[in-house]
Amino acid sequence: MAVHPSAARDPSSVPLWSRIDRLVVAALVVAAAISRFWHLGYPPEIVFDEKFTVSQARCYLTHLPYRTTHPPVAAMTTAVSMWVLGDQPIAWRIGSATLGTVLVGVTYLLGRRVLDSRMGAACVAGFVLCDGLFLADSRLCLWEIYYLTFLAVAYLMLARFIQTQDLRVGRRYLAIMGAMLGFALGSKFALPAIGAIVVLAFATYSILIKTNGPGEHDKIDLRRATPRIIDTIALVGGTTSLVYLGLFFLNYWFGWWGGIEDHLTYVKHELHSQTLLVGAHPYAAQWWTWPLMLRPLLYWFQNNFFNDPTMPAASIRAMGNPILWWAVVVAIVVATMRVVAGLRDFLCGAVSHWRLAFIVVGYFAFYTVWIPVARYKFIYYYMPALYFGFFALADLVDRCWNGRAKTVEQGALLAVLAPMLLLSLGSFAGLMLAILIGAAYAYTAASDARIAGKFAAVIFLFGVGGSFVYFLPLWTGIPISHAAFDARVWFRGPGLPNWL
């Protein structure tokens, strides 16, 4: 949808909900459900950290304690599905698959509000749909999709709160936001707290702006805003804590915990456990390797740790869609430059800037928090930052589509395709196709800049779709020939890049 320039400056501007939205969100959710639920029971065995989540669920069903793991939401959900469907792989994973499907729909709704565009919203939901790491984690009983989905709903509530002028209406969104943050904190140890801090920071910013009127350059009066900020923090913090503590009710019910002191002991124990996870790990990936996807992680392999040339290769990898991941790097750089350029206006209360600032702050908050952490790290820790990165990328594609992106931004978006073409098609064919696309873009740009932007967006989206189909076997464990497997594992070391 083309956005009117004046509307884009209004924080409350959102594309009106229409039949197109219903159709788009329905199509996205159906596609997500197909990709998440298809052969969900495969592989028919415990995969990677399912040994923790499924074990904990079994312990709940047999009223036994299970200490050494994350908070209980994923395991409790799994226990319920196992109680209904029996102890089988589909029952283990149905919670993740459901939330992974919901996440695509929620992302569309959030995209409409954060990007103020249907095209951008469809893109960002499509990126979540077509990313390998989001897909693989949605098809396994792991913690990531749980907390990411709850955080996404919290972000949606934040957007609704910011875009609502009436605080009596807005407090509903704050309450739901608090509950979602509680569920997120109850799904994964500590990490969702970063999301809570980001959300509260932007809710506070919104209160400041609302208290001081809609004018873009009003001076911020902290004294007037402080009581409302305290009320907001009380409402969100109280709801979050209430829900979070309530999620541990089974620990009290079964007598494993006596009081709050036991909860604090558990938190101390988990923090201490993190300090023990130092040293080398074959799957470890340093934080600075994540955006370029240099070291994915092997979740599962069939029969043999190594790829057996005499058998079809079947494995599940925690790796993303390379085009998306590499393009996110470009998009975040572009978004950060735009935020920095508009920083003064943002600080002075130009609320139209909250959208991009929210994306950039969210990305760097979840990413940089890992820099000082000493324990070994894995690539899937990048997921919450990547989620924000998808919004920056969708914004870039949307701006290309609407002719608002600069030529250099369009060129950078297309340039991301070059390594993919070279690595998947081989040097000659890949180079020829890359040159052909570059020449076609240059010709279009010379004649009509708007059409050039649309060309860049369409070619990029085709690349994303093609890459999704190409790499699908590595995310779902579909058996493929040894040659097909070799063609997809682009990096095998020695050295830093190693797709295992």
Note the residues at the interface with other proteins (CB under 8 A). Answer: 45-46, 55, 58-59, 61-62, 64-68, 87, 167-168, 170-171, 174-175, 178, 227-228, 230-239, 241-242, 245-246, 251-252, 255-263, 265-266, 269, 280-282, 284, 302-308, 310-311, 492-494, 498, 500
Shortest reach from residue 41's CB to other proteins, in Å:
15
Smaller CB distance to other proteins: residue 270 or 345?
270
- Residue 365 to residue 360: CA distance in whole angstroms: 8
Q: Which residues of 133-152 are buried (b: 16+ CB within 10 A; e: fewer)?
A: bbbbbbbbbbbbbbbbbbbb
**Helix ranges restricted to H, 448-481:** 449-476
Shortest reach from residue 197's CB to other proteins, in Å:
17
- The DSSP output letter for 351 is G
Q: What angle do CA 126, 130, 136 make, to 5 degrees?
A: 135
Smaller CB distance to other proteins: residue 316 or 335?
316
Q: Which two tokens stand for residue 243?
A: 């829900």
Smaller CB distance to other proteins: residue 167 or 197?
167
Shortest reach from residue 497's CB to other proteins, in Å:
11
Shortest reach from residue 42's CB to other proteins, in Å:
14
- Residue 260 to residue 307: CA distance in whole angstroms: 49
Shortest reach from residue 417's CB to other proteins, in Å:
29
Smaller CB distance to other proteins: residue 171 or 404?
171
Distances (CA, A) of 39 to 33, 96, 216, 478: 11, 14, 52, 10
- Residue 143 to residue 68: CA distance in whole angstroms: 14
Place of tokens 């109280």: 238
Q: Which two tokens stand for residue 450?
A: 């708007």
- Residue 328 to residue 200: CA distance in whole angstroms: 25
Shortest reach from residue 266's CB to other proteins, in Å:
7
Q: Which two tokens stand for residue 422?
A: 């070279």
Smaller CB distance to other proteins: residue 55 or 352?
55
Asked whether 400 and 410 are in contact (CB, 8 A), the reply is: yes
- Residue 13 to residue 84: CA distance in whole angstroms: 44
Asked whether 98 and 104 are in contact (CB, 8 A), the reply is: no
Smaller CB distance to other proteins: residue 41 or 65?
65
The residue type at 169: V
Question: What is the number of other CB atoms lying within 10 angstroms of the CB of residue 313?
Answer: 24
Smaller CB distance to other proteins: residue 238 or 426?
238
Shortest reach from residue 231's CB to other proteins, in Å:
4
214: CB partners within 8 A, 6+ apart? 165, 351
Shortest reach from residue 64's CB to other proteins, in Å:
4
Shortest reach from residue 241's CB to other proteins, in Å:
4
**Across the strands, what pairs with 316?**
300
Smaller CB distance to other proteins: residue 87 or 221?
87
Shortest reach from residue 162's CB to other proteins, in Å:
15
Smaller CB distance to other proteins: residue 4 or 67?
67
Q: What angle do CA 344, 347, 351 make, to 5 degrees?
A: 105
Shortest reach from residue 268's CB to other proteins, in Å:
10
DSSP string, 254-311: TTS--SHHHHHHHHHHHHHHHHH--S--TT---GGGTTTT-S-EEEEESS-SSPPTTS
